[in-house]
């Protein structure tokens, strides 16, 4: 019999084929998922029972220790911190947290969709914005007129919405004109935090933001060298303070993921395979696997 692994496995979904054992919805590709390792019935070994990370972290008495989670050190820093806070706090927090929405922007190709805020049709050719709660399956789009969405979330940085680059210059100018000059207290991006009163207005939706891929710039190799130097400095410090060590780990993790995000934007999967093969490295597996090896 195979040796038992750690009780939990954390990773980003490599496809959209798995379903959450808690809510039964699809786990979208590249969303954080947590797998409870169980004894397999059809072979000698263990297999993960996948769940949305959010579905597990809102339950009590699930993850007992960080040492129980395989792969936590490979996650984005923000996701590592979510799991750490869960373990250190003994479970989910009692206070309700804001709903995090994933958003996209595009020009409507039809006149069938209705705005979730005003209930009027979004006409063909109009700019529309989609929303869905982070980590939830695609059970139907929630569309909004651009001006209706900006009334709900006036501090959104529209330039960072998925699909922004595909808009024409005139459409981008029109959307920018809708943005209210309200100081933002949080970092903008494709994720928007909404309070309780806005939950009913923004429901689940699917999001398919496209971006043109280009070849990676030569500076990526310099980023790798920079990370190596940071590792050397970290090892050379005999007695680093706990806070200093955490800051170094945070900076290193964020730099690594910035490089991976650049690869995703600028290098195709086929190009990744070619580069790995040219360097005598394994070129099999998913796009996520390839970026991890690069």
The domain segmentation of the chain, as residue ranges, is 8-89, 99-198, 219-293
Note the pLDDT of residue 135: 56
The answer to whether 45 and 2 are in contact (CB under 8 A) is yes
Note the pLDDT of residue 289: 82
Ranges of the chain whose pLDDT falls below 70? 1-4, 91, 93-101, 134-141, 180-241, 294
How many helices (H) and strands (E) are present in the chain, helices listed first? 8, 8
Q: Which CATH superfamily is domain 8-89 in?
A: Zinc finger, PARP-type (3.30.1740.10)
Give domain 219-293's CATH number out of 3.40.1130, 1.10.10, 1.20.120, 1.10.20: 1.10.20
Question: What CATH code would you report for 99-198?
Answer: 3.30.1740.10
> What's the pLDDT tens digit per position in 43-85?
888 999 999 999 999 999 899 999 999 999 999 999 999 999 9
Q: For 205-229, b where at least 16 C-beta lie within 10 A, e where not — what string? A: bbbebeeeeeebeeeeeeeeeebee
Note the pLDDT of residue 292: 79
Whether 8-89 and 219-293 share one fold: the answer is no
Neighbours of 270 (CB within 10 A): 9
> What's the pLDDT tens digit per position in 101-117?
678 899 999 998 899 88
Note the pLDDT of residue 79: 95
């Amino acid at each position: 019999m195979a040796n038992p692994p750690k009780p939990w496995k954390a990773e980003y979904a490599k496809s959209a084929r798995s379903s959450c054992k808690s809510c039964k919805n699809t786990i979208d590709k590249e969303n954080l998922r947590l797998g409870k390792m169980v004894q397999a019935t059809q072979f000698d070994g263990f297999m993960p029972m996948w769940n949305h990370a959010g579905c597990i972290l809102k339950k009590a008495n699930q993850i007992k220790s960080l040492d129980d989670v395989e792969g936590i050190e490979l996650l984005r820093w923000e996701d590592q911190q979510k799991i750490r806070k869960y373990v250190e706090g003994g479970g989910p927090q009692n206070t309700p947290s804001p709903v995090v929405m994933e958003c996209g922007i595009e020009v409507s190709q039809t006149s069938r969709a209705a705005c979730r805020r005003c209930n009027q049709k979004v006409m063909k050719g109009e700019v529309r914005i989609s929303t869905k709660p982070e980590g939830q399956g695609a059970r139907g789009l929630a569309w909004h007129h651009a001006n209706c969405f900006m009334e709900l979330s006036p501090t959104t940085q529209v330039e960072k919405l998925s699909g922004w680059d595909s808009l024409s210059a005139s459409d981008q100018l029109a959307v920018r004109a809708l943005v209210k000059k309200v100081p933002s207290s949080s970092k903008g991006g494709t994720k928007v935090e909404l309070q309780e009163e806005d939950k009913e207005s923004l429901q689940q939706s699917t999001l398919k933001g496209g971006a043109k891929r280009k070849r990676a710039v030569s500076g990526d190799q310099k980023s790798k060298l920079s990370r190596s130097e940071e590792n050397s400095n970290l090892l050379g410090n005999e007695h680093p303070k706990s806070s200093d060590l955490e800051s170094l780990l945070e900076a290193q993790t964020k730099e690594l993921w910035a490089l991976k995000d650049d690869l995703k934007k600028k290098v195709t999967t086929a190009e990744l395979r070619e580069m790995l093969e040219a360097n005598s490295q394994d070129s099999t597996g998913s796009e996520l696997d390839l970026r991890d090896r690069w």
